[in-house]
Amino acid sequence: MAVSYEYSIGSVRAREKHLLTRTDIEQFLACKSEKELCDLLKDKGYGEGDSVEALLTSHSEALWKYLKSTAPDFDIFLPFLIQNDAHNYKVILKGTMADREYDALLVTPCTVELPAMRTAIEKRLPNLLPEWLSKFADKAYEALAHTGDARLSDAYIDRAVMLEMLRLSEKSGSAFLRDYVRNVVFYSDIKSALRSARTGANREYLKRALIRVEGFRKEEVIAAAMKGYDALTDTLSKYSEYDCRRAMEAFKESPSAFERWVDNRLTALCKERCKRVSEGAEPLLGYYLGSEIEKKVIHIITSGVRTKSDADTIRERLREIYG
């Protein structure tokens, strides 16, 4: 029998009570060792394993299993699943070209089975891949094989996945998902432009790397980037789209402050559009994205614990949480 949204939303609301709280975060920040952090995560029911990475992997597997059993229409999560496909394509392509092991870097779940992805790359059979990826796969292969330009190769795959995320979100029927993905693509463009201006990438690279999304002034951004890093940051600081002006204020503080600002903007969007909604897919999407930001927070804390950073230093890097 098909699961209804009424049932799935009730289920998600119950599970939201187990998301991390600020009190939990402060407890994690007080940890002096990774073992202590692992023990606290286990107490929170975060999975199984003897390392933070193992616990997070276990947690992710359980999360996807739950979502598959609960979501009336699992296709609503496709914009996020295909990011794993893009990641796996890059990993397998680079591992194949360099003749090195890469299995530990692959991620699941994904929409393209890993054996099919391997065969498609190793035997150059792009027809084994979904259309959104196959259109750019050969270009990515050629860029890496003949020029050794890993950044250009990645740009082709990033373009493929961003375009498909936009397409899927537009047809999903969820205004939240559409707006969320537009924010993701917009700030992916901004990051690419800033990185390109810093490294002196050429115009052709930017044309391939930057994606057209509502509110993004592609030609203006490319023209500014060609004038240099300072010209680009000055131009972006004048844009109001997606609150870009405030994002650039954070960027002037530091690139890490900019990354934190973008993540917090996305989390705020989730809270505003998903947390108090009582129908449709938004509560499920919010729960999933809230769980993902938790993982990022845990990674940041783990890194700080391993490097013996003090709690205040780690706290400055933390993101807002959904719970």
Q: How far is it, in rounded angstroms, from Cα 247 to Cα 261? A: 6
Q: How far is it, in rounded angstroms, from Cα 142 to Cα 82? A: 22
Residue 300 — very low, low, confident or very high, per pLDDT cuts 50/70/90?
Answer: very high
Alpha carbon 302 to chain centroid, angstroms: 19
CA atoms within 13 A on the CB side of 197: 23
Residue 162 — very low, low, confident or very high, per pLDDT cuts 50/70/90?
Answer: very high
Q: Is 115 exposed, middle or buried (0-12, 13-18, 19+ CB in 10 A)?
A: exposed
Question: What would the two tokens of residue 111 be?
Answer: 């929409």
Tell me the per-residue pLDDT of 277-298, one tens digit each, with 9 for 90 and over: 989 999 999 999 999 999 999 9
Tell me the per-residue pLDDT of 224-248, one tens digit each, with 9 for 90 and over: 999 999 999 999 999 999 999 999 9
Q: How far is it, in rounded angstroms, from Cα 292 to Cα 290? A: 5
Q: How far is it, in rounded angstroms, from Cα 58 to Cα 62? A: 6
* Mean pLDDT to the nearest integer, 161-188: 97
Tell me the per-residue pLDDT of 52-68, one tens digit each, with 9 for 90 and over: 999 999 999 999 999 99
Residue 1: pLDDT over 50: no
Average per-residue pLDDT for the chain: 94
Greatest Cα pair distance, the chain, in angstroms, is: 60
Q: How far is it, in rounded angstroms, from Cα 200 to Cα 229? A: 9
Residue 83: pLDDT over 70: yes
User: How many CB atoms are closer than 10 A to CB 199?
Assistant: 10
Q: How far is it, in rounded angstroms, from Cα 172 to Cα 109? A: 20
Q: How far is it, in rounded angstroms, from Cα 181 to Cα 170? A: 9
* Mean pLDDT to the nearest integer, 75-103: 96
pLDDT at 306: 95
Tell me the per-residue pLDDT of 246-270, one tens digit each, with 9 for 90 and over: 999 999 999 999 999 999 999 999 9
pLDDT at 5: 87
Q: How far is it, in rounded angstroms, from Cα 37 to Cα 213? A: 41
Tell me the per-residue pLDDT of 103-160, one tens digit each, with 9 for 90 and over: 999 999 999 999 999 999 999 999 999 999 999 999 999 999 988 889 999 999 999 9
pLDDT at 3: 72
DSSP string, 107-139: -SS-SS-HHHHHHHHHTT-GGGS-HHHHHHHHH
pLDDT at 2: 55
Tell me the per-residue pLDDT of 14-50, one tens digit each, with 9 for 90 and over: 999 999 999 999 999 999 999 999 999 999 888 888 8
**If residue 206 lies in a helix (H) or strand (E), which one and from where to where?**
helix 203-209
Determine the length of the chain: 323
Residue 218: pLDDT over 80: yes
Percent of the chain clearing pLDDT 90 (strictly above): 90
Q: For the full predicted model, state whether its pTM sits above 0.85.
A: yes
